[in-house]
Amino acid sequence: MICNNNRVIATQFFRVAEPPGVRYLNPMPRTPTAIETALAALRGGKHRITKPRQKILTMLASDHGPFTIEEIHSQLRRGTCDLVTVYRNLATLEELGLVRRCDFGDGAYRYELNTAAHHHHHIVCKQCAQVKTLDLCVADPLERLAQQMGYTNVTHSMELFGVCAACQKKK
């Protein structure tokens, strides 16, 4: 659940039937190994595992979110670090590909863990702003194409928007 100082109110896991030829990702919800994977990637990249980094990753691994910077800051134990430190660490973790920034079109960026096993996308209801998780990614061929074009450090970002079944019934 997300705090209600913004429009996005809740997240739910939602699996679609597996279409042919589509890579399926590991099942949600997150497992404790998500944090292990993220910390191992930090170590492997010779990046220091500072207390704020560890706490931010642990928090993101324990709940799907995605969370705004303010929400992450308020969920860390008091005195862990200030908002600016959270902001800087999230930027570093995003650069390393361990954290993904989501834009649900309401003016607030939200962050979630992005280890390979947990990469997924979202669908946001345009009316009630509920967020559901799409545990599926079809971007592999696009990323390969970009790499063939000579690009490195290729990432992608995609959220879907629609009107949910409950909102359709309200009409």
Tell me how far apart the alpha carbons of residues 33 and 88 are, in angstroms, rounded to a whole number: 24
Residues 85-124 close enough to bind Zn ion by CB under 5 A: 112
Q: Nearer to Zn ion by C-beta: 74 or 155?
A: 155
CB atoms inside a 10 Å sphere around CB 95 = 12
28 contacts Zn ion (rule: CB under 5 A): no
128 contacts Zn ion (rule: CB under 5 A): yes
167 contacts Zn ion (rule: CB under 5 A): yes
Place of tokens 């954290």: 99
Q: Give, in order, the Cα–Cα distances in Å from 32 to each of 36, 39, 54, 59, 67.
A: 7, 12, 13, 11, 19
139 contacts Zn ion (rule: CB under 5 A): yes
Shortest CB 81 distance to Zn ion, Å: 24
146 contacts Zn ion (rule: CB under 5 A): no
Applying CB under 5 A, the residues found at the interface with Zn ion are: 112, 125, 127-128, 137, 139, 164, 167
